[in-house]
Amino acid sequence: MNQSVVCIGISREQGQIKAVARQAGHLLEALDVAGDGKGLDALRHFVSRGALPVRLAVAGGALRLALSLGSVPGREIVLVSPAAAEGAPSLARFAERLL
């Protein structure tokens, strides 16, 4: 496993934006904010304040969120089938397994 990659699972659940960051098999931090403009700003900050490289794992409705964060060198987006992983914590773990 690449120890330096931060894996972030992002989901949209019941009007909320949820994100979980993991690195080297350990939970770093979690975010749970409203799914509005302020919540999107909080997600941008959550994703961009850490070190690169970053892998964002999203399923379904969260793809638009991930794409709205913009293209940044060292950041990749992994689209995951909802059948394979659901919710921010399992999406982050799924991204780690791909390393």
Mean pLDDT of 27-33: 96
Tell me the C-alpha distance between 99 and 94, whole Å.
9
- pLDDT tens for 45-93 read 999 987 789 999 998 888 888 888 888 888 999 999 988 888 999 999 9
Show the domains of the chain with their CATH numbers: 6-97 (3.30.420.40)
Which pLDDT score is estimated for 51? Answer: 73
The pLDDT value recorded for residue 76 is 92
Confidence of residue 33 (pLDDT cuts 50, 70, 90): very high
The answer for residues whose C-beta is within 8 angstroms of residue 37's C-beta and 6 or more apart is none
Calculate mean pLDDT across residues 14-25: 94
Per-residue model confidence (pLDDT) at position 78: 92
